[in-house]
Structures are given as C-alpha cells and as structure tokens.
C-alpha cells in the first residue's frame, strides 16, 4: 500500500488534489491498483469516470471498489458494467442535487433564513488583532492568508467586519 488519499469537499469539483496525486502515481507506474470506497466516488461524471478508467487501463492500473468489484475495461462485460454503474451514480448525484435545491427553495419560501447564523466567529475573532496589525504594516491579503494558514476570503471577511464595526 502506497497511501490513503482522501478528498475534502465536493467530489464534483474540477480541482481534486488527492485524485491528481493518485493519477500521477498510476501514470509513473508506482502503483498497480486503486481501491475506492465506491466507483461513483472516483469520477465527477459518467464521462469523466469512463475516461479515467480507460487511462488507468492503459497504464495497467486496476480499479477495485470496496465491495470487491474490479473493473476490467479490456472486456466488453467490464466496459458495460462500468458504464452502467457510473451512469446510475451520476443519476443518483443529480437526484440528490435536485432534492437539496428543492428543499432550500421550500425553506426560503417559508421565510427560513438560509446560511450561517450571524454572530460570533471564534477563529476570526481570535485572528482579528493579527490581521489588522498585518494590514497596518501594508501586507497583502494573500501574504496574511499564507502567514496565518487561512484563505484570502477569510482575511477579507475579517477586514470587512472590522471596518464595519470601527
């Protein structure tokens, strides 16, 4: 086993750093198999999944789902099974997305306030003095973000809330 790679955030995003690392290992022939929790977790869409499985097949790397299913795209049966399962997975993701959007629309129509609750943000409040001091020194949002290990958006939010309260 080379390692465990776990994505954080949405699997539908285009930039999946851990997946890129695994593909780089596969391309450089450092691995010969990839174990995934389920096939649908490996690809963003049916097309993406099938293209990636073909790439892996060309590199002689097999993909095995934790339920024990291996996907051999060199056989017609394997290609059909992978296509069918990835199509079902994409359909399931689309249904979940529709349900979430529908639920949010109903909640909004009922007057429910969506989003984060207004109020105290402990991490931002703790970093406020440091961010304000660094801005006073003329530091950029990007520099501050790197220095404190937070995002530029968090820095901007801290500065904006500080200005509003000043």
Please give the backbone phi and psi of residue 76, each rounded to the nearest 5 degrees, phi first: -60, -40
Q: Are the C-beta atoms of 60 and 15 separated by less than 8 Å?
A: no
| pLDDT tens, residue by residue, 47-85 | 888 889 889 989 999 888 887 677 777 788 888 888 888
Q: Are the C-beta atoms of 70 and 27 separated by less than 8 Å?
A: no
| pLDDT tens, residue by residue, 34-49 | 888 887 778 778 888 8
| DSSP run (H or E) holding 34 | strand 33-36
Task: Output the pTM of the full model.
Answer: 0.56
Q: Kind of pairing, strands 62-65 and 33-36?
A: parallel
């Amino acid at each position: 086993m080379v390692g465990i790679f776990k994505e954080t955030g949405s699997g539908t995003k285009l930039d999946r750093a851990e997946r890129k690392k695994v593909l780089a290992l596969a391309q450089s022939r450092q691995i010969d198999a990839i174990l995934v929790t389920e096939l649908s977790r490996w690809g963003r869409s049916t097309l993406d999944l099938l293209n990636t499985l073909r790439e892996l097949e060309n590199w002689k790397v097999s993909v095995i789902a934790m339920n024990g299913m291996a996907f051999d795209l060199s056989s017609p049966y394997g290609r059909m099974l992978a296509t069918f399962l990835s199509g079902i997975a994409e359909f399931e993701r689309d249904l979940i997305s529709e349900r979430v959007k529908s639920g949010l629309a109903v909640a909004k129509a009922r007057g429910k306030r969506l989003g984060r609750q207004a109020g105290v943000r402990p991490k931002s409040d703790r970093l406020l003095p440091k961010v304000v001091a660094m801005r006073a020194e003329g530091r950029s949002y990007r520099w501050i973000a790197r220095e404190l290990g937070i995002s530029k958006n968090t820095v901007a939010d801290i500065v904006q809330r500080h200005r509003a309260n000043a």
